Amino acid sequence: MSAFDPRRVRVDTPLLGRVINGRPITYLDSASSTLPPRAVIEAMDRYYTLHHANVHRGVYQTAVEATDVYEGARAAAARFIHAPGGADEIVFTKNTTESFNLLAKSWGAANLQAGDVVLVTEMEHHANIVPWFQLRDARGIDVRFVPVTDDFRLDLSNLDQLLDGVKLFSFTATSNVLGTRNPVAALARAAHEHGALVAVDAAQSVGHQPTDVVDMDADFLCFSAHKMLGPTGLGVLWTRAAILASMPPFLGGGGMIADVRLDGYVPADGPTRFEAGTPPIAETAGLEAAIRYLDGLGLENLMAHEQTLTSDALARLDARFNGRVRVIGPANSVDRGGVLSLDVDGVHPHDVAQVLDQFGVCVRPGHHCAKPLMRRFGLAATARASFGPYSTVADTDVLLDALDSAVSMFG
Amino acid sequence: MANLDDLYREIILDHYRSPRNRGELDAPGVVRTEGYNPLCGDELTVFLDVRDGIIVDIKLTGHGCSISQASSSMMSAAVKGKTVDEARETIERFKQLMTVHQTALDDRAEPVVADLRTMGELAALQGVVKFPVRIKCATLAWNTLSQGLDDAYGVQGTGSQ
Q: How far apart are alpha carbons A134 and A128 in whole angstroms? A: 11
Residue A96 has φ and ψ, to the nearest 5°, of -60, -40
Residue B156 pLDDT > 50: no
Determine the pLDDT at residue B109. Answer: 53
Which of the residues of A are catalytic? 369
- Contact residues on chain A for B13, CB-CB shorter than 8 A: 409-410
Return the CATH class of domain B4-152: alpha beta
Strands A117-121 and A166-172: parallel
pLDDT digits (tens, 9 = 90+) for A360-401: 999 999 999 999 999 999 998 999 999 999 999 999 999 999
**What domains sit in chain A, N to C, each tagged with a CATH number?**
6-30+299-410 (3.90.1150.10), 41-295 (3.40.640.10)
Determine the pLDDT at residue B106. Answer: 54
Q: Do B131 and A22 touch (CB under 8 A)?
A: no
Q: Do A350 and B63 touch (CB under 8 A)?
A: no
SS3 A301: helix
Of A355, A371, A381, the CB nearest to B40: A381
Residue B129 pLDDT > 60: yes
By C-alpha distance, the chain B residue nearest A357 is B4
Q: What is the ipTM of this complex?
A: 0.83
Residue B160 pLDDT > 60: no
Mean pLDDT of chain A: 97
Residue ranges per domain, chain B? 4-152
Determine the pLDDT at residue A270. Answer: 94
Q: How far apart are alpha carbons A142 and A191 in whole angstroms? A: 16
Of B8, B69, B137, the CB nearest to A409: B8
Contacts of A382 (CB under 8 A, 6+ apart): A177, A328, A341, A342, A343, A349, A365, A366, A368, A374
Lowest mean pLDDT among A72-81, A137-146, B38-47: B38-47
Q: Do B65 and A348 touch (CB under 8 A)?
A: yes
Q: How many CB atoms lie within 10 A of CB A366?
A: 19
Which of A21, A130, A351 to probe the B interface (max B CBs under 10 A)?
Answer: A351
By C-alpha distance, the chain B residue nearest A359 is B4
Spell out which chain B residues touch chain A, with contact meaning CB-CB distance below 8 angstroms.
1, 4, 7-8, 13, 16-17, 39-43, 63-67, 69, 131, 134, 137
Q: Do B41 and A409 touch (CB under 8 A)?
A: no
Residue B157 pLDDT > 50: no
Determine the pLDDT at residue A411. Answer: 76
Q: How far apart are alpha carbons A163 and A146 in whole angstroms? A: 9
pLDDT digits (tens, 9 = 90+) for A11-34: 999 999 999 989 999 999 999 999
Q: Do A354 and B40 touch (CB under 8 A)?
A: no
Which of B6, B66, B107 to probe the A interface (max A CBs under 10 A)?
Answer: B66
